[in-house]
């Protein structure tokens, strides 16, 4: 089976995050027809439908939800080496990392150049939440095109700082991007950028129309959240707890963002979001950003590299960091 392209992977991630063909097309700067074509191609390759579309909304099918969960396991599979279309040029890492040379017979005068076997390729595993992938997609595809002896494997799953530490220590990833409220002390990492948390609620709700919303106003108001095992849920709850918000049990816990969007629009609870997800919620009709009277902690995106990673992985980490 042909592997999905990085473009299709990015569209899939954006469509999961937005739940809307129009919002996804706007975020990526392409037409809705282009979104439909790429998703149709991806579904044909996978052999099952990923979304149910009605009225411009895109809701994950059962198979689509399983695909999202399975993306976290792709780092262990060699066939999950995503390749992009029309990649831009990028510097080679030959100078930073010695090439892998396999024993081979000396070619005769009429011999064709030998192609590197799969066993000769260096594999670099990158772990990053799917919404962050678009930030370095172009750089990653350019790097892979410029270095055909390097295979890139992606684990598109949100990880906490603790999970990042364990994955690096066990050698399960070479480069990891993770969310944190500050610099972890247990292992080295570097700050990449910050994203501000915002709270969203249906625009017909009284709090959405208020000029200012305090922590007391939010007390007792239902909230919506992702599932407890989701890395985005963990860091969001930590930030809200640090802001001393009175967090009761969520009225809805799901990783289906379409269901969260519908519940928020209907006023069944407020939802905390940051990064691309917050921008998607902010553009949705019928949903308003609450005007908070208190600041919420910023979520840091940090990059860490496995301590004993080879030169190619170190070079790629630097290239993505630029």
Buried b (16+ CB within 10 A) or exposed e, 6-43: bbbbbbbbbbbbbbbbebbbebbebeeeebbebbeebb
176: three-class secondary structure by DSSP: strand
Least confident of 5-9, 90-94, 120-124, 181-185: 90-94
269-290 pLDDT, tens digit per residue, is 999 999 888 888 888 889 999 9
191-243 pLDDT, tens digit per residue, is 999 999 999 999 999 999 999 999 999 988 999 999 988 888 989 999 999 99
Give the integer Cα–Cα distance in Å for 213 and 190. Answer: 34
Q: Mean pLDDT, the chain, as a whole number?
A: 79
Which 8-state DSSP code applies to residue 114? Answer: P
94: three-class secondary structure by DSSP: coil
How far, in Å, are 112, 189, 246, 270 from residue 225 at the CA level?
58, 28, 14, 9
Asked if 197 and 292 touch (Cβ cutoff 8 Å), the reply is no
Sign (positive or negative) of CA dihedral 262, 294, 196, 239: negative
Domains assigned to the chain:
6-91+120-186+302-321 (1.10.10.10), 198-296 (3.40.190.290)
């Amino acid at each position: 089976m042909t592997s999905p392209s990085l473009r299709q992977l990015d569209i899939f991630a954006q469509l999961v995050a937005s739940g809307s063909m129009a919002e996804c097309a706007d975020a990526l700067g392409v037409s809705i027809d282009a979104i439909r074509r790429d998703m149709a191609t991806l579904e044909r390759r996978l052999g099952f439908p990923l979304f149910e579309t009605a009225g411009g909304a895109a809701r994950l099918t059962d198979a689509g939800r399983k695909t999202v969960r399975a993306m976290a396991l792709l780092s262990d599979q060699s066939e999950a080496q995503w390749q992009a279309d029309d990649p831009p040029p990028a510097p080679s890492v030959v100078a930073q990392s010695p090439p892998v040379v396999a024993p081979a017979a000396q070619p005769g005068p009429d011999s064709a150049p030998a192609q590197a076997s799969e066993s000769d390729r260096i594999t670099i595993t990158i772990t990053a939440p799917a919404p962050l992938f678009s930030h370095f997609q172009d750089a990653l595809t350019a790097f892979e095109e410029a270095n055909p002896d390097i295979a890139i494997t992606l684990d598109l799953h949100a990880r906490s700082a603790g999970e990042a530490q364990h994955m690096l220590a066990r050698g399960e990833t070479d480069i990891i991007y993770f969310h944190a409220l500050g610099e972890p002390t247990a292992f080295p990492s570097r700050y990449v950028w910050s994203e501000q948390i915002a709270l969203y609620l249906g625009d017909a709700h009284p709090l959405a129309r208020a000029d200012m919303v305090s922590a007391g106003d939010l007390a007792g108001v239902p909230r919506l959240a992702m599932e407890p095992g989701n890395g985005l849920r963990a860091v969001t709850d930590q930030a809200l707890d640090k802001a001393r918000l009175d967090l009761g049990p969520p009225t809805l816990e799901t990783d289906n963002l379409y269901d969260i969007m519908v519940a928020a629009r209907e006023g069944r609870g407020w939802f905390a979001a940051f990064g691309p997800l917050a921008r998607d919620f902010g553009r949705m009709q019928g949903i308003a950003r609450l005007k908070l009277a208190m600041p919420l902690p910023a979520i840091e995106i940090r990059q860490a590299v496995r301590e004993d990673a080879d030169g190619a992985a170190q070079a790629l980490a630097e290239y993505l960091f630029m």
